[in-house]
Structure 1
């Protein structure tokens, strides 16, 4: 797998979209017009890609050739498919550990979480198709290469993954302060999927309503919450602690 690939040219980007490539972001020259751009714009609206309208000078720096007013970043990895990934892991492990990220926005948080997940034995990470941080070169760097060592799956909505995992016998647990139950009072020594939420809003309400368990980390200071990557690390290591204790 390579670092983030940058492509340019209207027709090239159209073909990448139609070919199902995982596109992180599209840069478009301000004021761009024409029938080919209209075709591209229609596809962008259908798929709800992250876009940024920029001056031509910005595109000249991003592209090494004739960009025609459009440059796009393609994800550095290929993403797995939910059902196939989950079923394969369930066949291999009695107590797998899945990590679901509900619209984590910061690429460095994203990368740090992937790094910790890889270090704590997470079997797969599941992220939403839209609305989360891109898996780009910054994410790869912050993950210390962790993105290449465990499956990452994209789904239309995290709630869909929650329902599928539940139907497969996996406990779903949302990390949230909207709970009276401590993570240290929660049984994590079983097939489990942990859901971490957005930096500002936490786990979305629709997902909170769907999960089996809600649990929180105790906070003894005056600050109301932890950084999401720190919280995720604490919960993953508590999961590891419980499993190693039982195993010994």
Structure 2
């Protein structure tokens, strides 16, 4: 991952300026593109002391993987935590652990959306394998809307081994699988918990599945067979939140 990443688009850059200006190294604007919202961004950046550069459209397009609308904010690289830091975090918790494990989620948009839901649900850390996982790049951070800076994202070399060590710490592993007989709403999600989500197309890998204590499914009433993984993650996390509030 490079030492900096880009947030792009007027709305995303405005939100970043309003909430986390300390993360911005500089803002690039498309040369010759001016107007109401762009001018306000330029003024706010200058008032905040953030360097402003005017560059060609082609340079913005190389930095952004979507519609940049003439503006890209260059931000500090997001911190990614190591496995030993996960155990330090758990050791210092004053409440029961609540973790999210993402197996083979390779789309940065889905990673960002899962981080956003994890932040809203009060998850203490999100755990992903070092390989076969989406990077915490500018796209993921933009979708996460700040959650990439508040929820620790932990990369581990061997996900099955990490799950085994977490289980030894008394953390219950609940995996999601469409063919599971139990559903999320009738499963006890109170206590030390790690919710395990797999990729939409293939689900969890075999070893990941084997290290789960229980498998659950989301009841589906319509014609589609599954939800987008980030949507399913949000539903499952907030069912856990509902149960934990009532407990």
Fold shared by both chains (TM-score > 0.5): yes
Name the counterpart of 2:66.
none
In 2, the alpha carbon distance for the partners of 1:175 and 1:93 equals 27
CA RMSD of aligned residues (A): 2.4
CA contact (8 A) 2:99 2:124 kept: yes
CA contact (8 A) 1:105 1:199 kept: no
1:166-199: CA deviation from partner (whole Å, max 9, x where unpaired) = 0111001111113100111111110001111112
* 2:132 is the counterpart of 1:140: no
Matches within 5 A, 1:115-126: 115-126=116-127
Name the counterpart of 1:233.
234
Relative to the length of structure 2, the TM-score reads: 0.68
State the aligned residue count: 183
Matches within 5 A, 1:169-208: 169-208=170-209
In 2, the alpha carbon distance for the partners of 1:193 and 1:90 equals 16
In 2, the alpha carbon distance for the partners of 1:239 and 1:135 equals 25
Relative to the length of structure 1, the TM-score reads: 0.68
Ranges in structure 2 where 5+ consecutive residues have no aligned partner:
7-57, 64-75
In 2, the alpha carbon distance for the partners of 1:137 and 1:232 equals 21
Matches within 5 A, 1:13-52: none
CA contact (8 A) 1:90 1:96 kept: no
* 2:118 is the counterpart of 1:113: no
Name the counterpart of 1:21.
none
Name the counterpart of 1:85.
86
Q: What secondary structure is seen at the aligned counterpart in 2 of 1:190?
A: coil
